[in-house]
Amino acid sequence: MSIIEIISNRHSYRGKYKTDRVPREDLIKIMEAGLAAPSGCNKQTTSLICVDDKGILKQIHAVIEPPIAETAPALICVLTQRINAYRDKCFAVQDYSAAIENMLLAIVELGYQSCWYEGHITDDDKICDKIAKVLNVPTEYDLVCILPVGIAENEIIAPKKKVFSERAWFNTFNSKE
């Protein structure tokens, strides 16, 4: 698939995963794609922990309520550091978002599925902090997102998106050109 085809074939997958393990080689490729993303002033504020150990996966799922991606053979946990790029400008959110999108695309290219789980784990109950504790993450890092990785068992459903002309234009806002 070309990169454009991968982009249009990527959809958030929330179904069950097959039990097949994801080879380390593929997990490394996916994480490398994440780390290759641009970052504000090249501060590289994003770090990653990929969990593929069954015992640690079990400990993580024990703190996620309601449960998500319980059958995924691997989870990539995205960490961020609030380092300023210059003066008081911090681009950490943009940095990790770019890294996540790169990883989601790499995941699809390699034949796996995923979903950007951020809202679920960063809500008031702070599941993210509980996962960070399981993984011995130092306090200067925030765990902000988890990406399951695995082969989909169920159908991949494309969500409805607004039409192009409602969100993108040439030359001036809302132009009909």
Ligand X SMILES: Cc1cc2nc3c(=O)[nH]c(=O)nc-3n(C[C@H](O)[C@H](O)[C@H](O)COP(=O)(O)O)c2cc1C
Q: Which residues contact 36 (CB under 8 A, 6 or more apart)?
A: 102
Taking alpha carbons only, the member of 156, 59, 170 closest to residue 77 is 59
55, 66, 119, 138: which one contacts ligand X (CB under 6 A)? Answer: 119
**What would the x/- binding string for ligand X be over residues 57 to 96, using CB under 6 A?**
----------------------------------------
Q: Is 17 helix (H, G, I), strand (E, B) or coil?
A: strand
DSSP code of residue 22 = P
Integer-rounded Cα radius of gyration of the chain: 17
Q: Considering the rule CB under 6 A, would residue 120 count as an interface residue with ligand X?
A: yes
Opening angle at CA 109, ends 155 and 156, nearest 5: 10
17, 91, 96, 117: which one contacts ligand X (CB under 6 A)? Answer: 117
Nearest distance, CB of residue 31 and ligand X, angstroms: 19
The one segment of 16-24, 76-84, 110-118, 128-136 that binds ligand X by CB under 6 A: 110-118
Which residues of this protein are in contact with ligand X, per CB under 6 A? 11-12, 14, 115-120, 159
